[in-house]
Structure 1
Amino acid sequence: MIDVVQEILAFNAGRDPDRLGLKYRNMRASPFGFLRGTCHLFYRSLPVDALFDEAPPVWSCGDLHLQNFGSYKGDNRLVYFDLNDFDESLLAPASLDLVRFLCSVLVAAPDLGVGRKEARAMGRAFLDAYLASLVSGRASWVERDTADGLVRSLLAGLNGRLRPAFLDGRTTLKGKRRCLRLDNGKALPVTESQRERVSALIAGFATQHADPDFFEVLDVARRIAGNGSLGVDRYVILVRGKGSPEGNELLDLKEALPSSVLPRVATAQPVWRAEAERVVAIQRRMQAVPMAFLEPLRFRKRSYMLRGLQPSEDRVNLEVARSGEGAVAGVLASMGSVVASAQLRSSGRDGSAIADTLIGYARESRRKDLLDAAQACAVQLRQDWKTYSEAYDDGAFEP
């Protein structure tokens, strides 16, 4: 039997206490927040079942849930809607991502403002679109001209967003020089040694580019974003870009750790030189277009992922009371197509199933089996959240 409290404490040992405290608070707030913060526990609790072990291997997000989709600017400077978190990514049975996502829909039902029956119907909308896209055998992508519904509205709004307005939300302007804001709940100050380490890492990276001055570091802060990775070494970096102040750029630098899904997966994995190379390689395979500035970096014995800063608020609002049940179900259908396209796009690479195998899997899959498995996981997760909440309230997670 798994000791939920000790598992969580052991997994998060050594993390930045300021941001770890935020993670524990978010996990206490709701079962969905708990799901986001305990990917490792989810897979430890997953039953051994043919549904998981006999599905074809695919390149997987590893931590697929409602909040791991969003907009981002590609390296071609266009804005896309796609999977946007690959920290836990690996080669795994196709059903693992599906069941975790469906579980997230069921667990998030109160946050969405729907009952369990409606949440299950939304899960079916996701599955129907996923399976239909796999059967088609064609990978698609979602950008402003191909999107519809709420996703189209999101991308259309972002397409018109001006760089100065984005920078103004994250920085303060002193004359012609910007510095990062620390008063908006998105960043914390760094120590001088952290600033020097990050600046040295970016300076080394800059020498590989035709315009190294573009990556001149102007300011550094510890970034607050996500949930599961809170407390991991992560920074927001303000760089010169095309010139101060309006041409500055914001970068996200995050340490890469081993995938917590790996102990549950028997599928043989490629040998990666560093964890950041795993994350970046899989992300490039699965996304329609790579994120801007996406690169793996190494500093001594630690590896980091660099990319353009993606605002966490640039997501579709999935509250039914605000957007409508039909519109939210449409977003989940888009998510299903995105997942299928990512699997097709990365098919036949380093052990992943070829497209013909995925098409056969889609034709034979039973929606009910996947939904029932997700329901069982949701029941277990709510029980684990209750155990966690009692321990949290008793002070077990205080620094």
Structure 2
Amino acid sequence: MRKPLKPKPPRHAKRQDVLTAKRNAKMASSTHAYVRGNTVKFYDWLKQAEIRGLPEGPAIWICGDCHTGNLGPIANSQGKIEVQIRDLDQTVIGNPVHDLVRLGLSLATAARGSALPGITTINMIEALFEGYLQPFAKETASRDPGDRPEVVRVVMREAVRRTWKHLARERLDDAQPTIPFGKRFWPVSEKERAEIESLFQIHTLAELATGLRGRPDTGDVTVLDAAYWVKGCSSLGRLRYAVLLDVDGGAVEGDDLCLIDIKEGVQAAAPRYKDAVMPRDNAERVVEGARHLSPHLGERMRSATLQERPVVLRELLPQDLKLEIDQVGPKEAMEVARYLALVVGQAHARQMNHSDRKRWTSELRRTKSKSIEAPTWLWKSVVELVGSHEVGYLEHCRRYALEAG
């Protein structure tokens, strides 16, 4: 039986128009997808919100875009796997409460997408607050997160047993040393290919490929193939490339292959503290934030310049997976909220000393509600955000329907 023809990639000149249409369609698929793809609207709300009195936390690196899809299993260079923050495009030195509130919004919209009753959302916010506080009560913030919900255990088991062949079948359709063009991967121009090849002549970037899993550092890193990568939602429209490398220059085998993700670093929408000292280069900012928030990922990232724009490079490992929290039951929703908040709390707490953790805990517990086991500011923030994003989502769908028509 003949295989169906793959969609023809757009011409280079039409790339941006197609990407914009894809982004609009993806964000129109559900409120949860709209929330995940619209960081700017979240921070617009922060500027205009009627709610006052959000806690002011210590000046630490925050994710800045802390929704459920940005957490998941990540492997370090030695193969150890932990659930950490996996996307740091918006990372800044700012108020840690922004991560907590954004995660609450993401979980609440996931609950609505699962048609769960309002009482479940209340229970999730209570569990969210409880989980976030847990690392701050310990003398050290580096302990194992503990019991994982079933949805997390499933993806962790999958991460542990994954190999290069799994990654190749998922990303490349097969384990052959080429990137197949189609819906996900588009051809690059000769100029793009030449610039990408020149990147890996820089020793510090070549080391990114040779430094993992004990690969021999022979100095031979060859670009086998490169493609424009149609990936993500908020990142659609930026520079994004998949690059397939051979790291030893010899016979091409699975362990010699390396798949690099090149992603443009853009200005963060997340507000930083005024006196915070951060790298001015957006790619360097992302890498520095990752080293503080997600050590497994941070050690596998480098910053560079491509087409006169800042870019972040990282090797994709088979163990790097996204947590999909689109459909959950009432009990699992609470477990997921508690666990993911704990992971975020751990990323924050490891950056604070004992006295800072104690002060931050006291500040978070301020204005405790009599009707819910979470602060009033947290509950009201999530309720306001869910409402404003529902309106924004419907307006987005209306505009997208008009454009499509």
TM-score range, shorter chain: 0.7 to 0.9
Rounded to whole Å, the distance in 1 between the matches of 2:72 and 2:205 is: 31
Gaps of 5+ in 1: 1-13
Rounded to whole Å, the distance in 1 between the matches of 2:258 and 2:335 is: 33
Q: How far is 1:132 from its partner?
A: 2.4
Secondary structure, counterpart of 1:99 in structure 2: helix
Show the counterpart of 2:165: 164
Q: How far is 1:320 from its partner?
A: 4.6
Show the counterpart of 2:252: 244
Matched, 1:85 2:87: yes
Q: How far is 1:233 from its partner?
A: 0.4
Deviations 1:40-75 (A, max 9, x none): 122112226543363443321101111111122212
Show the counterpart of 1:384: 392
Show the counterpart of 2:337: 332
Rounded to whole Å, the distance in 2 between the matches of 1:157 and 1:207 is: 29
**Is the 1:217–1:237 Cα contact (8 Å) retained in structure 2?**
yes
Secondary structure, counterpart of 1:199 in structure 2: helix
Q: CA 1:31/1:327 → structure 2, altered by over 3 Å: closer, same or farther?
A: closer
Q: Which of 183, 188, 191 matches 1:190?
A: 188
Equivalences for residues 341-352 of structure 1 within 5 A: 341-347=346-352
Rounded to whole Å, the distance in 1 between the matches of 2:363 and 2:130 is: 13
Show the counterpart of 2:371: none
Q: CA 1:154/1:254 → structure 2, altered by over 3 Å: closer, same or farther?
A: same
**Is the 2:26–2:233 Cα contact (8 Å) retained in structure 1?**
yes
Equivalences for residues 137-176 of structure 1 within 5 A: 137-140=139-142, 147=148, 149-171=150-172
Q: CA 1:194/1:299 → structure 2, altered by over 3 Å: closer, same or farther?
A: closer
Rounded to whole Å, the distance in 1 between the matches of 2:172 and 2:144 is: 30
Rounded to whole Å, the distance in 1 between the matches of 2:71 and 2:241 is: 21
Q: CA 1:48/1:60 → structure 2, altered by over 3 Å: closer, same or farther?
A: farther
Q: How far is 1:172 from its partner?
A: 5.6
Rounded to whole Å, the distance in 2 between the matches of 1:113 and 1:187 is: 35
Rounded to whole Å, the distance in 2 between the matches of 1:146 and 1:305 is: 33
Structure 1 window deviating more from structure 2 (72-81 vs 376-385): it is 72-81
Rounded to whole Å, the distance in 1 between the matches of 2:20 and 2:66 is: 21
Show the counterpart of 1:11: none
Matched, 1:281 2:288: yes
Q: CA 1:195/1:120 → structure 2, altered by over 3 Å: closer, same or farther?
A: farther
**Is the 1:91–1:267 Cα contact (8 Å) retained in structure 2?**
no
Show the counterpart of 1:5: none
**Is the 1:203–1:216 Cα contact (8 Å) retained in structure 2?**
no
Q: Which of 243, 258, 264 matches 1:255?
A: 264
Show the counterpart of 1:10: none
**Is the 1:135–1:362 Cα contact (8 Å) retained in structure 2?**
no
Rounded to whole Å, the distance in 1 between the matches of 2:141 and 2:124 is: 22
Q: CA 1:232/1:215 → structure 2, altered by over 3 Å: closer, same or farther?
A: same
Q: How far is 1:257 from its partner?
A: 0.5
Secondary structure, counterpart of 1:290 in structure 2: helix
Matched, 1:18 2:31: no
Secondary structure, counterpart of 2:297 in structure 1: coil
Rounded to whole Å, the distance in 2 between the matches of 1:218 and 1:289 is: 26
TM-score (norm 1): 0.83
Show the counterpart of 2:4: none
Aligned amino acid, residue 94 of structure 2: A
**Is the 2:262–2:313 Cα contact (8 Å) retained in structure 1?**
yes
Q: Which of 71, 76, 79 matches 1:74?
A: 76
Structure 1 window deviating more from structure 2 (71-80 vs 279-288): it is 71-80
Secondary structure, counterpart of 2:54 in structure 1: helix
Matched, 1:218 2:224: yes
Secondary structure, counterpart of 2:321 in structure 1: coil
Show the counterpart of 2:104: 102
Q: How far is 1:223 from its partner?
A: 1.6
Q: How far is 1:219 from its partner?
A: 0.8
Gaps of 5+ in 2: 1-13, 211-216, 369-373
Q: How far is 1:298 from its partner?
A: 2.4
Q: CA 1:300/1:225 → structure 2, altered by over 3 Å: closer, same or farther?
A: closer
Q: How far is 1:162 from its partner?
A: 2.3
Deviations 1:338-358 (A, max 9, x none): 11111111236xxxx933332
TM-score (norm 2): 0.82
Q: CA 1:241/1:329 → structure 2, altered by over 3 Å: closer, same or farther?
A: farther
Equivalences for residues 356-395 of structure 1 within 5 A: 356-364=358-366, 366=368, 367=374, 368-395=376-403
Q: CA 1:228/1:212 → structure 2, altered by over 3 Å: closer, same or farther?
A: farther
Q: CA 1:388/1:215 → structure 2, altered by over 3 Å: closer, same or farther?
A: same
Rounded to whole Å, the distance in 1 between the matches of 2:307 and 2:324 is: 41
Aligned amino acid, residue 195 of structure 2: R
Rounded to whole Å, the distance in 1 between the matches of 2:81 and 2:57 is: 33
Secondary structure, counterpart of 2:268 in structure 1: coil
Q: CA 1:213/1:179 → structure 2, altered by over 3 Å: closer, same or farther?
A: farther
Rounded to whole Å, the distance in 2 between the matches of 1:269 and 1:249 is: 36
**Is the 2:149–2:332 Cα contact (8 Å) retained in structure 1?**
no
Q: CA 1:311/1:387 → structure 2, altered by over 3 Å: closer, same or farther?
A: farther
Q: How far is 1:363 from its partner?
A: 4.4
Q: How far is 1:362 from its partner?
A: 4.0
**Is the 2:129–2:338 Cα contact (8 Å) retained in structure 1?**
yes
Aligned amino acid, residue 260 of structure 1: A
Q: How far is 1:150 from its partner?
A: 3.0
